[in-house]
Amino acid sequence: MTFTFEVTILGGSGGPIENDCQSFLIRPYGSDVVDSICVDAGTGLGSLYNLVAQIGTSDEAKVNDYYNQNVTTRKVFNDVNVAYTNGFSSSLKKVLSEKYQNLNHWETTILLYNGIRDYYITHPHLDHIAGLIINSPLAYEISFGTSKNVYGLTSTKEALTDHIFNDTIWPSLNKLKYPKINLNALKQCRTHDIANFPWTTTPFKVNHGCGACNGEPNHSTIYCIRHNRTSEAIVVCGDLENKASIDTLDSYLQTFTNWLTNNILAENFKGILIECSSQTVPDGTPLFGHLSPPHLISLLKLLLKKYNDIDQTISELNVIVTHVKYTCGNEDPRLTVLSELRNLAKFNNLHNLNFSYASQGTTYYL
């Protein structure tokens, strides 16, 4: 099996624990430099530092288990067929050990942070931007700072400009004479070149509930990241819901799945990171703009059918589940959601789907 992407989970949940919120560090497979991009930035420097400090220790293999008050191994969160490793990828560890072996943990963390030039934000909720915001002054360090390009759909850019970088919530670092925080709007369904790698990304607007008081619709983004030469691609999702009935797709998801099946061959579809925020709940229970296992299985089933309808078959697809919310109780909701998804997939004869959960500190090879 060949790989194209390395995806390191800096944060995989949707809260309420603040140090594990969604953030994915993405690099070319086997890269010999420290450059990367991030999709979402709910966490940042803290997660990078912890992963640096764990290199070569037994802690790399451990995942916090808040429910049994101990730690567990990554094995329980991952399908037997998915390729993954503990901590950073082997190629990144090699770069750090061969080129930057004299740096201490904090200096190495800064090095990796500086290597993230581009952020692709799915939507401006705090669990997807908190790390970006809190970390942003470091871009202005005289000796070490590097510019950050922040991308998102127009609604995301406007929210960051009007409600975050506004000199009230946070300094307007994007409006300085020589800004190092640059906010950029992407157009829906319009392919965008990723600067540091031979990749493109195409953003798709999706529904994500509505305001708690004003009832105004919220939106998020799905990003398809594609390698220019091989055309291999991964899909990385923000929070989303399907506003149509469970057996159909709403207009935004129709647009996305139509584009995907027309532009990404089944054999080049390397994996999808997609949310499933809560376990199965009774019909009519509010999901607040998210998916539960029945909704995610239905979405994936409809996507696979679209490929089948054009005489393409996905023989195997890695589904990395994200954004499970920690709940009050005795059972780990991450494992509950995984179990429900696997059982539903089996019931629906979706044997080509490999479900894993994006536990913090895991690197996937896709």
pLDDT at 31 over 80: yes
What are the C-alpha distances in Å from 76 to residues 20, 63, 72?
18, 10, 8
CA distance 69 to 346: 31
Q: Which of 177, 55, 158, 47 is nearest to 113 (CA)?
A: 47
Question: Sign of torsion, CA 135 141 144 145?
Answer: positive
Q: What φ, ψ does residue 137 adopt, rounded to 5°? A: -60, -25
The whole-model pTM stands at: 0.96
Tens of pLDDT along 57-68? Answer: 988 888 887 787
Domains of the chain plus CATH, in order, are 5-365 (3.60.15.10)
Task: Kindly state the tokens that stand for 278.
Answer: 């809560």
Instruction: Considering only residues 94 and 326, tell me which one the structure prediction assigns the higher pLDDT.
Output: 94
Instruction: Considering only residues 333 and 286, tell me which one the structure prediction assigns the higher pLDDT.
Output: 333
Cβ atoms of residues 322 and 237 within 8 Å: yes
For the chain, the distance separating the N- and C-terminal CA atoms, rounded to the nearest angstrom, is: 10
What pLDDT is attached to residue 39? Answer: 99
Task: Kindly state the tokens that stand for 57.
Answer: 């220790």
Q: What φ, ψ does residue 7 adopt, rounded to 5°? A: -120, 110
pLDDT at 339 over 70: yes
What pLDDT is attached to residue 144? Answer: 67
What is the rounded average pLDDT of the residues 264-276? 98
Cβ atoms of residues 109 and 45 within 8 Å: yes
Tens of pLDDT along 174-192? Answer: 888 788 899 999 999 999 9
Distance of alpha carbon 78 from its chain centroid, rounded? Answer: 16
What pLDDT is attached to residue 152? Answer: 99
CA distance 345 to 330: 25
pLDDT at 70 over 80: no
What is the rounded average pLDDT of the residues 240-269? 94
CA distance 104 to 124: 33
